[in-house]
Amino acid sequence: MPCPLPVRQIGPLTVSAIGLGCMNLSHGYLPRPDTAQAERLLLHALESGVTFFDTAAIYGFGRNEELLGRTLMHRRNEFTLASKCVLAEVDGKRGLDGSPQAITRVLDDALRRLQVDHIDLYYMHRLDAKVPIEESMGAMARAVEAGKIRAIGLSEMSAATIKRAHAVHPIAAVQTEYSPWTRNPEIAVLDACKELGIGFVAFSPLGRGLLAGRINDDGVGEGDMRADMPRFLPPHLGHNLALYEKLRAVADEAGCSAAQLCLAWVLSKGEHIVPIPGTTSIAHLDEDLAALSLDLPGDVLAAVDALFPAGVASGARYSRLAQSQTDTETWPGELVE
C-alpha cells in the first residue's frame, strides 16, 4: 500500500501536500526520459503517497495524458487527476482557443487519452483574450453538469479574471508559477484565492530546476523550453546562479537541500497551497517529498524571503510570445521590452 503523506484541501478535493507535475516526462525540458523511465517514476510517486497528478493537453500534444492513461488508471481511485485545456494543439502548433467548442473538443480528447470518464480538476491553462472568460467558463460549467469534470481550475490568470470566472461558477484551484524567485502571486492572486476560498497550486516551485541546483553555467540546450526564457540566458543566468548559491548556503546551514528549502518555503505560505514539482528522477522525487518531514525554524524561512525580494531575479520569466499568453500580474520592469 502507498505510504501516506500529509494532505491539503483544494476546493472539494483532498490531495497530498506535494503533488507531481508531469510535464517534463513528455514535454518542455531536456533530456526527456524514455517510456519505461517515465512509467517507473509515475508508479513510484503513487507508491510514495503522491495523490495529485497534474498533466495538460499541450504536454507533448497529448502524449503526456496518454502516458498517465496507460500507466496509472488501473489505480484510478487512489489519486486526484488534474489536466488542462485552452492552451493546446491548434493546426499542429501550440495555440490558444478558449471557445466553448474547443474546450468541449479538447476535454473529450483528454478523456479518451486518459482512459477515464471524468477528470477531477480541469483547468483553463491560459486566458484566451479573444473569448470573454464568461463564455469559456460556461463550457467548463456545462462539463461539470455533464459529469465530465468534478471541479474547475484556472492557470496563470490575474485576480480580476479569477473573480470574473468565479462569478460564473465556483473555482476550486488557481495554478501559477510560485517559488522564492517568482513571487508574482503575492501581488494579488494569493489574496484573491484566500478571499474566495480557492486553493492555490504552485507550479515550478523549484525555479524550473535552477533553485534545485539542476542548472549550471552552460545553461540549457537547444530544444529545451527554458532556452527561450531570459532568466536562463546570458547575461541573466550568472546573476541567477549566484542567487542559487546563496540559497544553497542557507539550506546547508539548515541541514536540508535547496530543493527541500524551496518546497518548505512554498508550503509555509498557506495551508491552501500545494506545490507540484516535476522531475524525471526517482531520487529527486524522494528528495522533494522529504521536504514534508522538515520542521524549519521561522528564521530560516525568513532568510529565504530576505534573499528573494520581489524582482531580485534577473530577466523576465517568459519570452515576449509566452508572456502575451499570460494574464498573471507582473512586477514593474519584469517584462521583455
What is the separation of C-alpha 317 from the centre of its chain, rounded to a whole number of angstroms?
14
What stretches of 126-235 show up as alpha helix (H) in DSSP? 133-145, 159-168, 189-196
Cell of 147: 459529469
Among the listed residues 29, 59, 123, 244, the single catalytic one is 59
Could you list the beta-strand ranges (E) of 102-223.
119-124, 149-155, 173-177, 199-203
Cell of 263: 518546497
User: DSSP 3-state assignment of 121?
Assistant: strand
Q: How far apart are CA 25 and CA 2, in angstroms?
A: 22
- Annotated active-site residue 123? The verdict is no
Question: Which residues, including other chains, have CB under 8 Å from residue 259's CB and lie 6 or more apart?
Answer: 206, 211, 212, 213, 277, 284, 287, 288, 291
Question: Which residues, including other chains, have CB under 8 Å from residue 211's CB and lie 6 or more apart?
Answer: 179, 180, 181, 244, 247, 258, 259, 262
Q: In terms of Cα–Cα distance, which of 200, 258, 204, 259 is closest to 226?
A: 204
- Polymer length in residues for the chain: 337
Q: What is the dihedral of CA 47, 82, 290, 24, to 10 degrees?
A: 90
The DSSP symbol for 181 reads T
The DSSP symbol for 29 reads S
Give the helix/strand (H/E) hosting 72: helix 63-72
Question: What amino acid positions are annotated as catalytic residues?
Answer: 59
